[in-house]
Structure 1
């Protein structure tokens, strides 16, 4: 029977944020007895329940999910279930939020048009009511379960706020609260949906077919999942490598940027390791597969994004915790105010009924509840205008607390493409002549180093003419005839192979390599003509941004890169980075980020590549370079710097602190007004109209204060 299964995997509809996780835990933990038996994958809406050694059936689990007010169905690994949702199921939250806002505004417009000041027209009440119902339709069932289970939460707090506003005739205020809360939930749901689509974009990196060589030597196209470990696959020039493996034969430059983030292709030859999803250069490679399709480095990246996203569920907001105390206390105090004076002291029921009603009105937390979403929406809008895309209000406060920031190198601190740093002529040649020779040999190549050399020659306005009798020397360099004389260019290894290296040349090459430079040697049959050194150039704004981050109170700035150690240290020294970790695979970056989180608690990770996505998801805050970054990094990150301007990072920290300050001001002001009127109510000096005026006035003031963030 199914109940004997050790693990039950389910797709939970509507599991968009930490709120649904909390509801499920309330029902499932008493059933299972241990929270560790539950696994939540928010990105995919997946729930895993370990029932081993327990007398718990699938029926029991499904019943508990039903009690939490959520719907489930069996999990399918092919993801087909997500495509079976109806249009209403997919867009319910968006439609209800739009209806709530539209009808709320329509009600206000009609009320202003009729000129009614003391009473709300029936037609406006109808419009406001539709707006309120639409805004609370997905909230009221949860609020009811919260009330029945005696566990007050934000849903109950919001429902009380709206109902309280309606009972005192403040229809527009009630409709506004319902819309703002619905909109904030929509933002959170949207950000999770974007992250889910990141998984699909990661899958696109893997080619759909592999060229499998059979025992007879024939080559057949099969799906990578059907290739056994230890098989031989052929990878043609320009193709993606389908599986992790080891090179059996062939020499080629492989673009490993999707996995390691290295800015320059890495030359691969026999016995070298290659990764699925990386791109072969201009050589033919035969590879022995070392891992199955579901265990490749790329597959592990995809899994880590999901796992890290589920580990880092959003923490409960302060207002939600406050609601658990505030709402029941207010209700109990109002009830006691109604019954104790008449029963114990002989007070008049009508007087104390009126005072208890005033207390409920003034205690209605509209100003408190409105203050936070208004401030957050204003902060999000201001950030967007400054080229910073923040995916929901839950992430706006995090930058204010950052103590450490981990950064990728390529595309984040640097431009992400090689540029010529130095041209070093030798043996009577000059810089222009050296660039002309190299440019002639590289003119028709698509290699990143070749493009950089040609670009430098054009920048210096040199007229390039392609070399004659051009030939590519696989994995080593190129050769050709220029002005009737043979020339060549290539790597240090090719120079050694030609046996033209002198002690002086060797010393210079070693020095340049240690400085983090990639060196292209140019020569002829007689001697070495010179060197052209290239490096991934640091962004213009990087040094100032790093200095400003230190001034903003960030204690530790760490570089995490897949590039070689010499290059990494050179860039780190130039930028002012505190700590460097080089030659890292994606899983190594996750380990490094986890270590920082344990040490500093509040840690951000900023990167731009697919290889950064798991670390972005694991950090307290994930930031992506948006303009040139990969879709996976942008989708997985909580915040994207759309202009690729690193100076936006210190701006974001200051903006977050200002937002947090305004939110605290609003909360303090709202509670101070409430406290004042509670005292006045007990003393008999507060009227219902004064309570209404104070509540509305406080709401308007906190809204105005929150909107100041738009000027950031």
Structure 2
């Protein structure tokens, strides 16, 4: 297993040296992250700045992720390492991607390169040793066209051909003296050249084969057609094989070429031409199928309109979205796409948010209370006031104040993260890559042995040679190479369409084998805001009269619980006049006092009355308060002068969908569902009982949540942490899979989690787990098909039961079976 070591300059605010306790806390927080083997302070400094040394496994964690985790745990990271996400055109299949990846990883200064057959390349490098220009030059030398060097929506729209009217769609600015290889166009017929060459090859082969049965036509005519078939069928295979051999490597293309040449030497021109026809046709169809999944992801970028109607000095003018600045007011007409993230400042409408959050029902939008405020600094914007770029306005005109530039919009970052996900390999893919490294040399050794079989058994050299070539074809692991990446790509694409961001193959696979889910309580299982649940009148005074007094007094306070009493109380007392209270006095942590007319009103918990005077509540009243609290309520006892007139109870109520979602999760095989909360155990138990959790662990501090996750991992093996991604980040980093809810509205959640549910909807969770299980199942099927075919074909060709034609037919057939099996994920239903 490849291990890497990097040193990052560590800048902790207000920390003078590396012996500070904050540094120790940071190291402890990082130490348990999966993929990080060891974290310690390095012996040497970087210009006097302490350096943290990370020993890590790049297959499990990237430098970018290390930097994100370090930032979340309080450190700023020096710009010693760079991270680039580049989109290219010209990668023809998975094996070609792997060849480019190996070539990049050999370059000095590149720490880790990951290349996806979909055209995404993720590179992490040392800025002191290599720069972006050198990387791009290396990619061009591999015959690739650079489309986008920093993937975001704005550049996508300008470059990738989303706007078909743009004349300059690609970055084709090669350095002086460097020619444009034009591989992205594939050749004279553009992108379809390989497919057309393959069809011509098949036509020549078919005509040649047919004419060989006509006695009157000389044999050289068929031979000429077979040679033509060799040229068209072998053009791309030979080109790739030569490039690979020139770099000292052996790939499947080279083995196929050797087998085809071997067939020609033996005079089996028709079989050799058939091999090249099926191999090139298989490649072309594989390329087409992978493009289908890739287009599903690229469609995300097309969600944003290229222009916006900017309101300036009372007039509107059309401008490109890249010109929009924070604070600009844009006008969005009915039934058109919203071009930027912002808040509604005028108009009401319903907006279809499905493209971003996957929500099937349009969300009603209304203006914010304070349109002049700088909303770009606000973290907590209500869903009814917020607008996302790429979502679709309903029947009314809206005016929206821009809160994020195009490059920072939720959609832009979603596109970037989905594209990064394509470069992350899954555990199965890492396993198959390792298997191939042993398998391919073993096959070559077997082929060499079979070449000399004529020395041991009674047959001619040509028969031994033919058998060896047939084994070479049979053992080529094409289907194995593409079985996992095609499924991961399709799974990530389907999830993105359903409002779920899955950041690569590892979380996609891990999510499907989870046995336990740990949930944060506030805002995840509950609404995240207290609601008025009970109003109890203790005297002859009516409930509404008592509630009026409570609303009048609590209206003077800005405490969250007071606001909840006022909001829900007014809703309940609709149309009733509320009297005016005055002279508010707060008693910290216990309650408030105020005057209402000639009366003195007290509202608070039992502790408030313990120290107030000798007019204590009766045992019966105390019992009622404690009963309500045991059900998870926060209670307030109200006293008017000397009389206790009522109790009001509030509770952060469970989400409406929580109970049904947990029932579905249980149904699909999640054995344990645990709530981790800072609230007291009584509140935790009450919520757990109401919604059907298996466990509830209360009174936990953030660091104790991390310990709880570690404890769960020992008993349950695979555990996911579901939260909002802000205060749950440390627990998420220690779980098998971190799942953040409401990521569309939270930058931190979007960056933190392995899986981000874009909508603040708990019910998306069973869809994500179901999709993951389907993906895991398809990956398993693909592995069985690809390995099973190889296991059957190798002995069949050794024993002479199958010739080259049959071997290549079954071989290419299995490759297409696994690709199209993977594409079934794109049609996965919720």
* TM band (smaller chain): 0.5 to 0.7
Aligned partner of residue 452 in structure 2, secondary structure? helix
Q: Higher helix fraction: Structure 1 or Structure 2?
A: 1
Is 1:586 aligned to 2:670, yes or no?
Answer: no
1:535 positional shift: 0.9
Change (3 A) 1:413 1:344: same
Cα pair 2:585 2:592 within 8 Å, conserved: yes
Change (3 A) 1:598 1:701: same
Cross-structure match for 1:109: 192
Counterparts of 1:466 and 1:69, CA distance in 2: 76
Is 1:319 aligned to 2:402, yes or no?
Answer: no
Cross-structure match for 2:173: none
1:422 positional shift: 0.7
Counterparts of 1:529 and 1:518, CA distance in 2: 17
Counterparts of 1:497 and 1:38, CA distance in 2: 57
Within 5 Å, which residues of 2 pair with 1:624-663?
624-627=740-743, 630-663=746-779
Change (3 A) 1:541 1:37: closer
Aligned partner of residue 645 in structure 1, secondary structure? coil
1:567 positional shift: 1.1
What's the CA shift string for 1:500-538, capped at 9, x where partnerless?
431233222233223321112333223222121111111
Change (3 A) 1:617 1:515: same
Cα pair 2:289 2:820 within 8 Å, conserved: no
What's the CA shift string for 1:11-53, capped at 9, x where partnerless?
8xxxxxxxxx8999xxxxxxxxxxx994567455779xxxxxx
- Larger RCO, structures 1/2 (Cα 8 Å, 6+ apart): 1
Cα pair 1:389 1:640 within 8 Å, conserved: yes
Given the two structures, how large is their TM-score scaled by the length of structure 1? Answer: 0.62
Aligned partner of residue 761 in structure 2, secondary structure? coil
What's the CA shift string for 1:552-575, capped at 9, x where partnerless?
333322221112222111111222
Counterparts of 1:386 and 1:365, CA distance in 2: 33
Cross-structure match for 2:730: 614
Cα pair 1:441 1:470 within 8 Å, conserved: no
Counterparts of 1:699 and 1:398, CA distance in 2: 25
Cα pair 2:201 2:233 within 8 Å, conserved: no
1:383 to 481, 484, 495: 495
Within 5 Å, which residues of 2 pair with 1:500-579?
500-503=615-618, 504-579=620-695
Change (3 A) 1:610 1:39: same
Cα pair 2:520 2:676 within 8 Å, conserved: yes
Structure 1 window deviating more from structure 2 (86-95 vs 550-559): it is: 86-95
Is 1:596 aligned to 2:712, yes or no?
Answer: yes
Cross-structure match for 1:494: 608
Structure 1: segments with no counterpart, 5+ residues: 1-6, 12-20, 25-35, 48-65, 74-78, 148-158, 188-256, 259-311
Change (3 A) 1:85 1:459: farther
Change (3 A) 1:655 1:609: closer
- Moved runs in structure 1, 4+ residues, more than 6 A? 21-24, 79-85, 89-94, 96-101, 119-133, 175-185
1:477 positional shift: 3.9
Is 1:434 aligned to 2:546, yes or no?
Answer: yes
Cα pair 2:555 2:566 within 8 Å, conserved: yes
Change (3 A) 1:477 1:695: same
1:71 to 106, 109, 115: 109
What's the CA shift string for 1:84-116, capped at 9, x where partnerless?
985558998985998999546975424567873
Counterparts of 1:331 and 1:625, CA distance in 2: 50
Is 1:367 aligned to 2:479, yes or no?
Answer: yes
Cα pair 1:162 1:177 within 8 Å, conserved: no
Cα pair 1:166 1:174 within 8 Å, conserved: no
Cross-structure match for 2:525: 413
Aligned partner of residue 650 in structure 2, secondary structure? strand
1:160 to 229, 251, 254: 251
Is 1:700 aligned to 2:816, yes or no?
Answer: yes
Counterparts of 1:8 and 1:113, CA distance in 2: 48
Change (3 A) 1:382 1:315: closer
Cα pair 2:741 2:760 within 8 Å, conserved: yes
Counterparts of 1:495 and 1:534, CA distance in 2: 19
Within 5 Å, which residues of 2 pair with 1:82-97?
86-87=131-132, 95=148
1:327 positional shift: 1.9
Counterparts of 1:182 and 1:646, CA distance in 2: 32
Change (3 A) 1:22 1:583: closer
Aligned partner of residue 540 in structure 1, secondary structure? coil
Structure 1 window deviating more from structure 2 (569-578 vs 383-392): it is: 383-392
Counterparts of 1:572 and 1:131, CA distance in 2: 63
User: What's the RMSD between the two structures over aligned residues?
Assistant: 4.8
Structure 1 window deviating more from structure 2 (598-607 vs 117-126): it is: 117-126
Counterparts of 1:632 and 1:445, CA distance in 2: 31
Cα pair 1:165 1:171 within 8 Å, conserved: no
Cα pair 1:131 1:175 within 8 Å, conserved: no
Change (3 A) 1:67 1:568: closer
Change (3 A) 1:692 1:126: closer
Change (3 A) 1:502 1:313: farther
Aligned partner of residue 611 in structure 1, secondary structure? coil
1:132 positional shift: 7.2
Cα pair 1:164 1:360 within 8 Å, conserved: yes
Counterparts of 2:492 and 2:449, CA distance in 1: 42
Cα pair 1:103 1:128 within 8 Å, conserved: no
Counterparts of 1:615 and 1:313, CA distance in 2: 23
Cα pair 1:469 1:480 within 8 Å, conserved: yes
What's the CA shift string for 1:664-685, capped at 9, x where partnerless?
2222222333333323422445
